[in-house]
Amino acid sequence: MMHGYHSTTTKWSMRCGCCMKPEELTDELCSSLDNGFRKLQQAVDENTKVLMGTQRLMKTLFEELSAIKRVVPIDKDD
């Protein structure tokens, strides 16, 4: 069974599994999974950096607000 993207004129990086040897399919699958996990790790790393930056910002804001509260008493009756 041939598919349109099996043509030698097209430039697809992956072939369908129906015309691949088992070891080729395994290699292709492992490579695809490896690339997927690498992209996932990059996304996790980026999100971790953003989270750490946000935590530092919140800590700084809390410290600044605490300092202001000590300098300017807040009247709770207002």
**What is the Cα 62 distance to its own chain's centre?**
29
- Residue range(s) defining the domain that contains residue 39: 21-71
Query: Average pLDDT of 7-25?
Result: 61
8 Å CB contact between 18 and 4: no
Is 13 a domain residue? Answer: no
Direct distance between the N- and C-terminal alpha carbons of the chain, in angstroms, rounded to an integer: 80
Residue 6 lies in a domain: no
Residue 65 lies in a domain: yes
**21-67 per-position pLDDT tens digit:** 777 778 888 999 999 999 999 999 999 999 999 999 999 999 999 88
pTM for the model stands at 0.52
Query: Is residue 7 situated within a structural domain?
Result: no
Give the model's confidence band at 3: pLDDT under 50 very low, under 70 low, under 90 confident, else very high: very low
Closest residue by Cα to residue 38 from 30, 48, 28: 30
**Total number of domains in the chain:** 1
Is 40 part of any domain? yes
pLDDT band at 74 (very low <50, low <70, confident <90, very high): low
Smallest CA-to-CA distance from 14 within 39, 34, 2, 25 is with 25
Is residue 43 domain-resident? yes
